[in-house]
């Protein structure tokens, strides 16, 4: 048990650590303000403890240190980091913050304070919180930077949380916070957030890869040293001041390569990269980086397809670097990153470092970040946008790689990879996008759906008669284009809907039927619509035969389809039939109604033994997903209030269908061996089997019925022992 005196000492040391870690000079007044904010936070959180049992004040102290040391923020941000949880968790109000620390600090704290409210099935409090957070971007990006520091410390201390909480927070982090850190240029924070999220969401895979990295560490270090020696020698000879270091790729990045390329860990060569950081004045940065590139390629052959020049064309978030991949003497590809000290600082610290160098009078090009900010502002200001649509549109551009495009006059535009001519038109101006009918790419006429390539020169063709169409949403990828198209279509649909309403009112007047809610319900039932607006829209489009209304009984201006009590009874019985159990009761969900229908989600096909959770759907009871389901991250991030813990009953006796995929060398009798193991040794029933052999290599899939995950894993291990089979995996 730690004594109160020891805790006080720990807190004071942590505070001093924050001050020491600050890289930006501060005045006496700023130091006093930092001390004042620390005292206010210390007093406000004095009786609070974290889940780990430590004093709560250590959390804001840790967040402040991340802001100072890892992001490079200044005194105002440190004050806000100390105070970031006071309004939400203590009796301190925003008015108190304003009186004590001024309006600027109050606005940042307001942006950081989580949005409270009750959960329901049409809106997520967390999604609304994200939107509120984004509202502050155009005003003060420090809100987002402090929020990322807060999330990073929470992820570092996530082990003390309950399993379901860990999965929710990790999913949310992977879904939004890591991409956001990437977009803001905070690459080291982005990598750590991804790594920690992956650790908690995929423990087995994470442990397996980290174990293999640990075993191969000595071999990698020897290889890196041998690879770097000739480059170092030549850099020294030419008088360069530099730092050279090897960097192992993060676990999620390695796992993506394993999955996307369909290879084992041992077959991945580029699990590390070499970084050369040159200490060079701003006016010589570019030429020095290219000189270093020339030296590297004197010793090793470069892959011309893998050269990335982000020095001539920096990314929108300010990232500058020269990337190349070269072949080593041992036949392994090695990625080499070349950048200046300033570029490395911006790459690691993101916007905070970029602003520091700009304010220091460095002759930097204008970052594309301001343009991105203005696009976010437009998204936010569109009140018609649904919160989840906003999140999806916002997130879609966070991680995207970029291409560089030119107008006929030579102006440079940066867009995501796979952007179309229509995306380009909307990036020029909303009105240009809305009236776009085609484009000339490199003087050649192309349709608006044409996918652009880096270096293209685009001239947009417009017409005053053109209007946005719903089909456009199928090929635009930028959030700005999607948002504007949706907004215009909604406005068009609202206008058409009003026309349809007028047509229906005239028809009812001719039939001497009152226009009221009860009659509208009968008409909706007649045409099988759930809501009025869609009915009105289809009427205006001429898709509805209104003469059918005569088939309904009309008495005194009212419509009758039959006994109201009978209708209620029928709908109630259908509801009971829908939600009561039709399958075996195989799940237990804490907090769930035992009468609800539990169904297996087809997206991940869970088996007994898999770690699972329940998700409450709107119309289909509870769906059971695997914890590592491809959709789990998004469900937990956006709809955490609809997640139920679930587990398999131990007395399960039903078989579940699952799939196995094989690859290997096509030997005689191999198929017979596979079927003997499955049918005779393991007594497993097969639903289907499909093999395809080409030039001596085969690929096959088998759908079979198993009782649980253990039985499936035993089967996979036995199949792997067959001579000729290279790989056996469960179909996702």
Q: Could you read off the pLDDT of 426-444 as tens digits, one per residue?
A: 988 888 999 998 899 988 8
pLDDT at res. 670: 76
Q: Can you say how many angstroms the Cα of residue 297 is from the centroid of all Cα atoms in its chain?
A: 36
pLDDT for 279 equals 92
Q: Are residues 119 and 44 in the same domain?
A: yes
Does the pLDDT at position 146 exceed 60? Answer: yes
Sign of CA dihedral 431, 434, 438, 439: positive
Q: What is the mean pLDDT of residues 236-255?
A: 87
Q: Measure the CA–CA gap between 404 and 417, rounded to whole angstroms.
A: 9
Cα–Cα distance measured from residue 594 to residue 585, given in angstroms and rounded to the nearest whole number: 9
Query: Are the beta carbons of 298 and 234 closer than 8 angstroms?
Result: yes
Confidence of residue 361 (pLDDT cuts 50, 70, 90): very low
Residues 345 and 375 in one domain: no
In a domain, 604, yes or no: yes
CB atoms within 10 A of CB 154: 18
Mean predicted confidence (pLDDT) in 341-370: 61
Q: How many domains does the chain have?
A: 6
In whole angstroms, give the CA distance from residue 539 to residue 551.
18
Annotated catalytic residue 610: no
For position 588, what pLDDT does the model report? 56
**So what's the pLDDT on residue 388?**
54
Pair (33, 174) in one structural domain: yes
Is residue 481 situated within a structural domain? no
Judge whether 474 lies within some domain: no
Q: Answer yes or no: do 133 and 222 share one domain.
A: no
Contact by Cβ (8 Å): 97, 608 = no
Partnered with residue 359 across adjacent β-strands are none
Parallel, antiparallel or unpaired: strands 402-406 and 436-441 = unpaired
Q: Is the torsion defined by CA of 568, 574, 579, 580 positive or negative? A: positive
Strands 436-441 and 458-462: antiparallel
552 contact partners, CB below 8 Å, separation of at least 6: 522, 523, 526, 559, 560, 561
**What is the pairing mode between strands 444-446 and 436-441?**
antiparallel
Are both 445 and 418 inside the same structural domain?
yes
Count of positions (residues) in the chain: 732
Percent of the chain scoring above 70 in pLDDT: 80
Tell me whether residue 457 is exposed, middle or buried, using C-beta atoms within 10 angstroms of its C-beta: 0 to 12, 13 to 18, 19 or more. middle
The catalytically annotated residue of 88, 95, 163, 502 is: 88
Residues ≥6 apart with Cβ < 8 Å to 185: 315, 317, 318, 319, 346, 347, 349, 350, 351, 354
**Cα 394 from Cα 248, distance rounded (Å):** 30
| Most confident region among 127-131, 156-160, 259-263, 512-516 by mean pLDDT | 156-160
Name all contacts of 430-434 with Cβ < 8 Å and 24+ positions apart: 430/480, 430/484, 432/460, 432/462, 433/468, 433/481, 433/484, 434/466, 434/467, 434/468, 434/484, 434/488
Q: Kindly tell me if the per-residue pLDDT of 115 is higher than 60.
A: no
User: What confidence score (pLDDT) does residue 133 get?
Assistant: 56
**Rounded mean pLDDT, 647-673:** 73
pLDDT tens profile 569-588: 344 344 334 433 334 445 55
How buried is residue 547: exposed, middle or buried, by Cβ count under 10 Å (0-12/13-18/19+)? exposed
Last residue of a domain, one of 648, 682, 698: 648
Mean of pLDDT over the chain: 79
Does one domain contain both 538 and 592?
no
Residue with more model confidence, 516 or 321: 321
Do the beta carbons of residue 620 and residue 591 sit within 8 Å? no
pLDDT grade for 398, boundaries at 50, 70 and 90: low
104 neighbors 89 (Cβ within 8 angstroms): no
Q: Which two tokens stand for residue 718?
A: 């036995």
Mean pLDDT check: name the lowest of 19-23, 133-137, 291-295, 685-689: 133-137
Residue 473 included in any domain: no
Q: Is residue 151 part of a domain?
A: yes
Pairing of strands 612-616, 685-694: unpaired
Tell me, what CATH number does 83's domain have?
1.10.3210.10
End-of-domain residue from the set 151, 171, 204: 204
Q: Is the pLDDT of residue 376 over 70?
A: no
Rg over alpha carbons for the chain, rounded to the nearest Å, is: 31
Tokens matching residue 66: 């991340």
User: The domain that contains 291 carries what CATH number?
Assistant: 3.30.460.10
Domain hosting 635: range is 577-648
If asked whether residues 591 and 553 sit together in one domain, one would say no
Number of helical (H) and strand (E) elements in the chain, helices listed first? 29, 22
Contacts of 532 (CB under 8 A, 6+ apart): 501, 520, 524
Please report the pLDDT score of residue 62 as a whole number.
94
CA angle 627, 633, 638 (to 5 degrees): 125
- Domain finish residue from 188, 204, 220: 204
Task: Between 71 and 296, name the one with better pLDDT.
Answer: 296
Tell whether 301 and 176 lie within a shared domain.
Answer: no
Same domain membership, residue 381 and residue 332: no
Average pLDDT in the 96-114 region? 85
CA within 13 Å, CB half, 514? 11
Cα distance between residue 209 and residue 211, in whole Å: 5
Report DSSP letters for 518-569, one per residue: HHHHHHHHHHT-SSHHHHHHHHHTT---GGGGGGSEEETTEEE-S-HHHHHH
Whichever domain contains 685, its CATH number is: 3.30.70.260
Place of tokens 């290219």: 290
Query: Pick the residue with more confidence: 375 or 107?
Result: 107
* Cβ 395 vs Cβ 421: under 8 Å: no
Instruction: Give the pLDDT band (50/70/90) at residue 654.
Output: low
Higher per-residue confidence, 526 vs 577:
526
Q: Is the pLDDT of residue 5 over 90?
A: no
Q: Kindly state whether residue 478 falls inside one of the protein's structural domains.
A: no
Range with lowest mean pLDDT among 167-176, 446-455, 580-589 = 580-589
Q: Are residues 502 and 449 in the same domain?
A: no
- Burial class of residue 699 in the structure, from the number of CB atoms within 10 Å of its CB (0-12 exposed, 13-18 middle, 19+ buried): middle
Task: Calculate mean pLDDT across residues 78-88.
Answer: 90
Give pLDDT, residue 371.
Answer: 60
Cβ neighbour number for residue 151 with a 10 Å cutoff: 23
Report the C-alpha gap between 592 and 621 in whole angstroms: 10
Do 511 and 550 contact (CB within 8 A), yes or no? yes
pLDDT band at residue 346, thresholds of 50, 70 and 90?
confident
Same domain, residue pair 215 and 319: yes
pLDDT category at 659 given cuts 50, 70, 90 is: confident
Nearest 5°: the CA angle 134, 138, 144 is 45
- Give the C-alpha distances (Å, rounded to integers) separating 117 from 120, 123, 174, 385: 10, 10, 24, 20
- Judge contact between 148 and 136, C-beta under 8 A: no
Q: What percentage of the chain reaches a pLDDT higher than 90?
A: 18
CA atoms of 519 and 516, how far apart (whole Å): 6
Distance CA 272, CA 334 (A): 7
- Per-residue pLDDT, averaged over 55-73, amounts to 90
Q: What are phi and psi of 543, to 5 degrees?
A: -90, -5
DSSP state of 550: G
Per DSSP, the three-state class of 365 is coil
Q: Is residue 482 part of a domain?
A: no
CA distance 349 to 95: 32
Query: Average pLDDT, stretch 386-403?
Result: 59
Please report whether residue 477 resides in a domain: no
Known active-site residue 89? yes
Q: What is the pLDDT of residue 590?
A: 53
CA distance 389 to 432: 23
Higher pLDDT: 547 or 385? It is 547
Q: Mean of the pLDDT values across residues 162-168?
A: 85
Is the pLDDT at 509 greater than 50? The verdict is yes
Say if residue 615 is in the same domain as residue 694: no
Write the DSSP symbol of residue 439: E
Tell me the CATH number at 464: 3.10.20.30
Rounded Cα gap, residues 506 and 702, in angstroms = 61
**Among residues 7, 54, 69, 89, which one is catalytic?**
89
d(CA 25, CA 382): 40
> Interhelix angle for 28-44 vs 94-101, to 10°?
150
What one-character DSSP code corresponds to residue 85?
T
Nearest alpha-carbon partner for 601 in 585, 616, 579, 581:
616
């Amino acid at each position: 048990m730690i004594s109160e005196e020891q805790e006080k000492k720990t807190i004071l040391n942590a505070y001093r650590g924050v001050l020491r870690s600050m890289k930006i000079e501060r005045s006496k007044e700023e130091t006093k303000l930092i001390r004042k904010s620390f005292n206010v936070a210390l007093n406000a959180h004095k009786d609070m403890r974290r889940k780990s049992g430590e004093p709560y004040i250590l959390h804001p102290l840790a967040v402040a240190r991340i802001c100072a040391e890892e992001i490079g923020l200044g005194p105002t941000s440190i004050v806000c980091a100390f105070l970031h949880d006071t309004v939400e968790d203590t009796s301190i109000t925003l008015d108190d913050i304003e009186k004590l620390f001024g309006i600027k600090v109050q606005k940042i704290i307001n942006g950081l304070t989580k949005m409270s409210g009750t959960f329901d099935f049409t809106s997520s409090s967390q999604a609304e919180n994200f939107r509120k957070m984004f509202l502050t971007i155009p005003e003060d990006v420090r809100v987002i930077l402090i929020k990322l520091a807060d999330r990073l410390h929470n992820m570092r201390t996530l082990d003390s949380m309950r399993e379901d909480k860990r999965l929710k927070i990790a999913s949310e982090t992977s879904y939004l916070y890591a991409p956001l850190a990437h977009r803001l240029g905070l690459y080291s924070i982005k990598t750590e957030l991804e790594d920690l999220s992956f650790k908690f969401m995929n423990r087995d895979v994470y442990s397996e890869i980290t174990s293999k990295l640990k075993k191969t560490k000595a071999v990698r270090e020897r290889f890196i040293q041998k690879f770097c020696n000739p480059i170092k020698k030549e850099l020294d000879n030419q008088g360069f001041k530099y730092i050279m270091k090897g960097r192992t790729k993060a676990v999620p990045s390695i796992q993506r390569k394993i999955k996307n390329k369909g290879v084992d860990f041992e077959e991945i060569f580029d699990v590390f990269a070499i970084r050369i950081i040159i200490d060079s004045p701003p006016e010589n940065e570019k030429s020095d980086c290219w000189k270093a590139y020339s030296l590297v390629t004197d010793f090793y052959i470069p892959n011309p397809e893998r050269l990335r020049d982000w020095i001539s064309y920096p990314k929108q978030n300010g990232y500058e670097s020269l990337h190349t991949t070269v072949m080593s003497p041992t036949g392994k590809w090695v990625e080499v990153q070349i950048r200046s000290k300033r570029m490395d600082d911006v790459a690691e610290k993101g916007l905070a470092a970029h602003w520091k160098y700009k304010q220091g009078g460095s002759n930097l090009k204008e970052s594309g970040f301001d343009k991105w900010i203005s696009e976010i502002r437009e998204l936010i200001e569109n009140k018609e946008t649904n919160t989840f649509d906003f999140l999806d549109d916002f997130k879609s551009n966070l991680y995207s790689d970029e291409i560089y495009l030119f107008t006929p006059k030579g102006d440079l535009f940066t867009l995501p990879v796979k952007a179309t001519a229509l995306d380009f038109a909307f990036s020029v101006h909303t009105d240009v996008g809305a009236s776009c009918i085609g484009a000339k790419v490199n003087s050649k006429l192309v349709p608006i759906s044409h996918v652009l390539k880096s270096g293209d020169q685009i001239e947009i063709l417009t017409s005053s008669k053109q209007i946005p169409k719903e089909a456009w949403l199928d090929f635009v990828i930028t959030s700005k284009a999607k948002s504007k198209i949706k907004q215009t279509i909604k406005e068009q649909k609202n206008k058409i809907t009003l026309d349809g309403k007028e047509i229906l009112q005239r028809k009812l007047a001719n039939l001497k039927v009152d226009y009221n809610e009860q009659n509208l319900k009968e008409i909706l039932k007649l045409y099988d619509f759930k809501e009025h607006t869609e009915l009105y829209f289809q009427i205006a489009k001429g898709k509805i035969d209104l003469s059918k209304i005569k088939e309904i009984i009309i008495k005194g201006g009212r419509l009758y389809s039959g006994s109201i009590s009978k209708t209620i009874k029928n709908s109630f019985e259908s509801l009971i039939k829908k939600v009561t159990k039709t399958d075996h009761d195989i799940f237990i969900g804490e907090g769930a109604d035992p009468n609800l229908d539990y169904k297996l989600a087809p997206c991940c096909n869970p088996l007994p033994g898999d770690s699972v959770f329940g998700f409450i759907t709107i119309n289909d009871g509870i769906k059971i997903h695997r914890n590592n389901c491809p959709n789990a991250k998004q469900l937990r991030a956006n709809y955490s209030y609809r997640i139920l813990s679930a587990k398999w009953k131990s007395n399960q006796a039903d078989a579940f269908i699952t799939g196995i995929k094989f690859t290997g060398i096509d030997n005689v009798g191999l198929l017979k061996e596979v079927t003997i193991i499955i049918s005779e040794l393991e007594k497993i029933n097969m639903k289907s089997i499909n093999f395809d052999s080409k030039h001596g290599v085969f690929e096959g899939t088998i759908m079979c019925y198993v009782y649980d995950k253990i039985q499936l894993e035993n089967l996979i291990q036995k199949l792997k022992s067959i001579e000729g089979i290279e790989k056996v995996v469960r179909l996702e």
